[in-house]
Structure 1
């Protein structure tokens, strides 16, 4: 499939965030990625998932949620990667930008969150119920979304590795707080980062199916 790539800067409050846009010829939706702890828009796992989504006619946005200065602070202290309120606010601002600037056209918006990014994605989905049409969490910490879980209206898929036992428990608890449209899928033989052969591919195809089903015009 023909996919056009471009780099843009997206305003989010006082921050200016670099992002990579991957735009299929005729996108049916767009998925904004929220990377996990200590990662960036260059995350090889999120990039691999994005390419599978592109083949399903879904546009993707890979973005750095911290500025370079903030990233340097976080590299020393690891404090900002767990600031769910900050990250969620920036995701919500990017959702607003996508809805206003329409670089993918008038298509529905989904969120894909990994690790702590999943919590930020769910908080942002709760804050933008009319704009966010679906959410997928990969090895996520949805429990960190707290009370916002009960306010999420977007159909949510929780993907967890079968060997990631503590995170399975946290996702089971979060599923109980989410609406009935939330589903939990355990990927057999996978650890937290889905590094085992074939497991990340299962994540990517499950996410593509979820967004294709739930991101309707």
Structure 2
């Protein structure tokens, strides 16, 4: 049986809308940290989430900005406010155990673009909750000094035809002390819009999370 629900998580008193899917016998839960211009209804994020669910992972697709904030004139600045996004992501991951369907599951973070930076900051701040991180076309450089405190297994996925982001991820790879890996998806550009590119991202992320999220017995 698959549990599906729309809910909200409170982050410093701010309600953040989320879609939660929990497959039967889930081995972990993955919270999505969306990048600039994206959200829980993004077709790309939902495509990856569906693949993770098939791999036995629960998913939480959440909007880290409210509808009012998305409409505000300051919206662009908020999307790049890594501190704000990370603080809300931390609040969400801390509340996962309060959800009956998610209680006891190891948590991972999947971040795209600026959301990847927020995910890495959250991992550095809450190693007691976050067990693994996957970045898709991310900007880990925006996590700053927090990179040196990320000890969780971290997978950085970048399109082969995204040279600037490749360089940024290679630099970040050298700063992360935990077990980390950089994978280039052949012929893919920044948004992984090429045929089969997003499927490769999903397969890589699924393998990473199913390996690192289950509790070690």
Fold similarity call, TM over 0.5: yes
Unaligned runs of 5+ in 1: none
Q: CA deviation at 1:187?
A: 0.4
Q: CA deviation at 1:102?
A: 4.3
For residues 17 and 180 of structure 1, the distance between their equivalents in structure 2, rounded to whole angstroms, comes to: 30
1:139–1:160 Cα contact (<8 Å) kept? yes
1:28–1:108 Cα contact (<8 Å) kept? yes
For residues 16 and 213 of structure 1, the distance between their equivalents in structure 2, rounded to whole angstroms, comes to: 32
Aligned residue number for residue 17 of structure 1? 16
For residues 124 and 101 of structure 1, the distance between their equivalents in structure 2, rounded to whole angstroms, comes to: 20
Unaligned runs of 5+ in 2: none
1:86-105 correspondence to structure 2 within 5 Å: 86-105=84-103
1:3–1:54 Cα contact (<8 Å) kept? no
Aligned residue number for residue 159 of structure 1? 157
The TM-score with structure 2 as length reference comes to: 0.96
For residues 82 and 100 of structure 1, the distance between their equivalents in structure 2, rounded to whole angstroms, comes to: 29
The TM-score with structure 1 as length reference comes to: 0.96
Q: What do you get for the CA RMSD once the two structures are aligned?
A: 1.1
String of CA shifts for 1:86-115, please: whole Å, max 9, x gaps: 000000000100034343231100000000
String of CA shifts for 1:144-202, please: whole Å, max 9, x gaps: 00000001121000000000000000000000110140100000100000000000000
For residues 65 and 105 of structure 1, the distance between their equivalents in structure 2, rounded to whole angstroms, comes to: 21
